[in-house]
Structure 1
Amino acid sequence: MPRRPATVRWRFTVMYAGVILASAVGLLVISDLIGLSGTRVSETAPVGNAPGGPTLAAAQELIAQLSEAREAQSRQTLIGSAVALAVVAVLSPVLGHLIAGRVLLPLRTITTATRRISADNLHERLAVPGPADEVKDLADTIDDLLGRLEGAFAAQRRFVADASHELRTPLATMRASLDVAVAKPGPVPVQTLELADRLRTELDQIDRLLDGFLTLARAQHGALVDRQEVSLGRLVSAALDARAADLAAKDLTLRGGDLDGDLDDAWTRGSATLLSRMVGNVIDNAIVHNHEHGWIRVTVTSGATLVVETGGRVLDQAQVARLAEPFQRLAADRTGSDTGSGLGLSIVTAIATAHGGALDLYARPEGGLRATVTLPPSEVRA
């Protein structure tokens, strides 16, 4: 099991406790030295008897008594010092912990406020009050960074909106030109009609690719302003109903939920438009990259989890894990289809991530793929 690195507060606690303990030891040593030096007496007995003075025996007895008193005082001083040192040793970690917490309190406040700020509320600032010290400089630096990020996200959203308009206009013009060309009076050569059909097909592919780019950009960089309570089960039922013809065209057997909407219900909170696109992409991937007469199992759990499984050939887990990245596709001989732009599952990943969820792709050992989309559940029922 990997060893957890020590936190800054723990290191500060050890440092402050060590400083307190060392200071206490130093003060006790100095106090003991001063006390002992003040109690020293002469242990030399006087020679002879001075007139009117104490006898030699009395002097020796007095010296013995003084020596015993000094030793008793020394023992008491040492015992008191030991007790005081033990108390300081016990209290120093507590005091060090409290002091470290007090010192790190402004940093914890900054960390909590920074975690609260996301792409949806980049307009908020830390605005830490206090004197112009290192902590205030750090908070102001983070505020400046948030300002630059807010500008970058706003520019990204403007680009997505402008690209949606500017790039779709020439596509519509090209389609109109094709329709005018084939609708002219007189016989139209067969080669021209075939070319027009191929061009329409390519334009449709470009349109889908553009739509995928815009959806991906919105999910990754856009703000989810249309959050609401969404029923995941209803979205899945609607997506299956809309794709009934595609399921029938490949003679795919639907297991788990059916087209009558009897799936287990689950609620989450987010953009209904993006979540509907996410569910549709998962099911489209299961239909397109499937074999004739295959099967699809769709389940929805109350924890806001969607699981879509398909049968088929055994796939490589390393390759399957990369399917969540843009433009990553398996070979046609492994999936039964070479259609698609390679953006479908990457859009699913971006939308799930934007809602606080995740996509997990798993190559089933018996063959086929299992896609699991997990979203934060909501207790509210719309």
Structure 2
Amino acid sequence: MVGLRGGTVGRRFTMLYATVFLLSGIGLIALIYLFSRSDLASSAPGQPPPGGPATGVAQHVLDLERQLADVHAQQSRQLLFGSLVAIAVMAAVSLLLGRILAAHVLRPLRLITATTRRISADNLDQRLAVAGPDDEVKELADTVDGLLKRLEASFAAQRRFVANASHELRTPLTTIRASLDVAVAKPQPAAQTVALADRVRTELDRVDRLLEGFLVLARAQHGVLPDRVPVALAALAGEALSARSAAVAERNLTVEAALTSEAWTRGSPALLSRLVQNLIDNAIVHNREGGWIRIATEDGAAVRLVVETGGSVLDQAQVDRLTQPFERLGTDRTGSQESSGLGLSIVAAIVSAHGGSLDLRVRPEGGLTVTAAMPPSDASDASHTSDDLQGSLGPLRATP
């Protein structure tokens, strides 16, 4: 009974089939043996009549009955032995047949399981579409298809809501900004009005960045990338570092760049540029004063962008949650009030939309290593030249 409670369904089905077969066989043999014993008892040799010697004919009859009883007993033993051998043989056969039947019965369930595992949030439009008679298995597959359809509609509605809400909120923000400009533009505005306007503008900038993050996140999660072209990660990293040279110098950070011109992937230039910018911004903002940053691109079976920083020792379990929106490690890594908590979640969504993977790994000596890996692409049909790329990489090897 222990074998029937544990293990896979196929194993339990095989054991159940073999157990039922053996019990049925043992019951059948027991009945045959009991009937044969009753026949043997009914045909037992008689006794000579009391009080007188047995005549020659009677004695001959008794001898025949004894011989017949011996034959029946021998046949009964042979029947019992043959039945036990047959049960032993059929036990092995029943296990084999049970395994074959279990595989045949459970094959549609394995197909459903394999197909369901391949379906994720990025391809909810796929369906099991199991063909065959209207049995319990097809009913289960149709139920899963209905669930996938409802999940697809729910995910699409959520993404549309985020994109539409982020877009619509820009209108009142623009109106508020224009009203502030009008108030400050009046002749000799009050000092309190100017201070309030500056504070509100700062908050409006934060909201603008947050809404922009929502828009990028919604687009990346939607997974629709019509503008796929070969993109050089090294060039994007060079542009992002050049644009942030002032921020690097302000925090007295040391930047080491090892960017290879062979690191090409295929995707959306706008989204991949945002990916690189977010990783570099994260490395700059969430860094200690006078710290260091290492940036490298690698080619091979997968194209990788690696951004490594020093710092305090972090907890891997907390770092693993950073790809979720609005997750932060704490005030020591939030850097400033400008952090929206969407940076790495946007990076994760962009990497996933490009068929890649994102790995966040804490360094034992302190700091964080972020690796974005994506499928490689040939750069032969790209408009970028190696001279332009080298021009982008030249100043990166200097230490700010």
Aligned position for 1:209? 210
Structure 1 counterpart SS, 2:307: strand
Aligned position for 1:277? 274
Does the aligned pair in 1 maintain the 2:304–2:371 contact within 8 Å?
yes
C-alpha separation in 1, matches of 2:128 and 2:97: 30
Aligned position for 1:149? 151
Does the aligned pair in 2 maintain the 1:305–1:372 contact within 8 Å?
no
| Structure-to-structure mapping, 1:3-14, within 5 angstroms | 6-14=7-15
Aligned position for 1:370? 368
Aligned position for 2:32? 31
Structure 2 counterpart SS, 1:290: coil
Structure 1 unaligned spans of 5+:
none
Aligned position for 2:393? none
C-alpha separation in 1, matches of 2:89 and 2:343: 66
Describe the superposition over 1:247-283 as per-residue Cα deviations: whole angstroms up to 9, x where unpaired: 23333212252xxx3377375x665543432332122
Does the aligned pair in 1 maintain the 2:279–2:347 contact within 8 Å?
yes
Q: 1:100 to 1:318 in 2, by over 3 A?
A: closer
- The answer to whether 1:84 aligns with 2:81 is no
Q: Which amino acid is 1:17 matched to?
A: A
Q: 1:136 to 1:225 in 2, by over 3 A?
A: same
| Structure-to-structure mapping, 1:1-382, within 5 angstroms | 6-38=7-39, 41-47=43-49, 48-50=53-55, 54=57, 56=59, 58-59=60-61, 61-182=63-184, 195-220=196-221, 222-226=222-226, 228=228, 232-257=233-258, 261-262=259-260, 265=263, 267=265, 272-301=269-298, 302=300, 303-315=302-314, 320-332=319-331, 337=336, 339-352=338-351, 355=355, 357-362=357-362, 364-367=363-366, 369-375=367-373, 377-378=374-375, 380-382=377-379
C-alpha separation in 2, matches of 1:135 and 1:324: 37
Shift of 1:34: 3.6
Shift of 1:90: 0.7
Q: 1:379 to 1:166 in 2, by over 3 A?
A: closer
Describe the superposition over 1:264-319 as per-residue Cα deviations: whole angstroms up to 9, x where unpaired: 7375x665543432332122111112233321122344444443222234455565
Q: 1:357 to 1:75 in 2, by over 3 A?
A: same
Does the aligned pair in 1 maintain the 2:361–2:368 contact within 8 Å?
yes
Aligned residues: 367
Worse-superposed segment, 18-27 or 292-301: 292-301
Identical counterparts, % of pairs: 54
C-alpha separation in 2, matches of 1:177 and 1:330: 37
Q: 1:274 to 1:18 in 2, by over 3 A?
A: farther
C-alpha separation in 1, matches of 2:138 and 2:316: 49
Does the aligned pair in 2 maintain the 1:17–1:96 contact within 8 Å?
yes
C-alpha separation in 1, matches of 2:330 and 2:137: 54
Structure 2 counterpart SS, 1:296: strand
C-alpha separation in 1, matches of 2:268 and 2:27: 66
Q: 1:365 to 1:125 in 2, by over 3 A?
A: closer
Describe the superposition over 1:25-57 as per-residue Cα deviations: whole angstroms up to 9, x where unpaired: 22222333344544553223545454xx5473x
Shift of 1:212: 1.7
Alignment root-mean-square deviation, CA: 3.6
Q: TM-score, normalised by structure 2?
A: 0.76
Structure 2 unaligned spans of 5+:
380-400
Shift of 1:101: 2.4
C-alpha separation in 1, matches of 2:335 and 2:177: 31
Structure 2 counterpart SS, 1:158: helix
Does the aligned pair in 2 maintain the 1:307–1:371 contact within 8 Å?
yes
C-alpha separation in 2, matches of 1:332 and 1:237: 29
C-alpha separation in 1, matches of 2:139 and 2:358: 36
C-alpha separation in 2, matches of 1:129 and 1:318: 43
C-alpha separation in 1, matches of 2:239 and 2:47: 112
Structure 1 counterpart SS, 2:360: strand
Q: TM-score, normalised by structure 1?
A: 0.79
Does the aligned pair in 1 maintain the 2:306–2:370 contact within 8 Å?
yes
